[in-house]
Amino acid sequence: MKTTPDFSIEDKTGYKLVAGVDEAGRGPLCGPVVAAAVIFPERTLDIPVIIRDSKQMTPHMRAIAYDWIINNTIWACAECSPAEIDELNILWASMEAMSRAIKKLTCTPQFCLIDGNKLPNEINGLAVVKGDAKSLSIAAASIIAKETRDKKMQELAKKYPQYNWDRNAGYPTAAHLQAIDKYGINEHYRKSFRPIKERIKNESAHD
């Protein structure tokens, strides 16, 4: 299996304007789910930065790649809020965030490559399982989505420092769960996620 993504899937589509689409933040207990869509205007492998699945990159590598991508591609970001996640469920909130990102692109893609096994509604494209390890466009989108979401959680952490969102990004670490038990939840938490739902239920039982 390939260890680094390339443009082979994009080239096989036969289209010039192919958007890679990915999301970040399906697993955390709080914050939005963020999606990004990226089109490479020219599909050349002469790219001066490392672009791969964002989860395989160090924060420093991601930051360098992020700066290059936003200056050399057509890209857009969108999100779904915790309230929308609770209403739609995390899968369909992720799909909706992807649709919004695609619609925000300054030019309409002819075809979309979506990371995962499902396409958002009314999107002409292909779902690619582990696409961020195979397609450069999806890998670039994964970097934009993760960097954007991490920055958002860092900003929120300034307002709510007790939860350490700048370090845990909202994921259910032991320290984060302890902080929730101590300080409670706020509007940024996803009330449909089990650890939060259970804590709300326990609080109601003790009222």
Going from N- to C-terminal start, the domains of the chain cover: 8-206
Architecture of domain 8-206: 2-Layer Sandwich (3.30)
**Phi/psi at 96 (nearest 5 deg)?**
-65, -40
The pLDDT of 11-24, averaged and rounded, is 97
The model carries a pTM of 0.94
The pLDDT of 168-172, averaged and rounded, is 97
Q: How confident is the model at residue 168 (pLDDT cuts 50, 70, 90)?
A: very high
Calculate what percentage of the chain has a pLDDT beyond 90: 90
Phi-psi region of 169 (alpha: psi -120 to 50; beta: other; left: phi over 0): left
Mean of the per-residue pLDDT values for the chain? 95
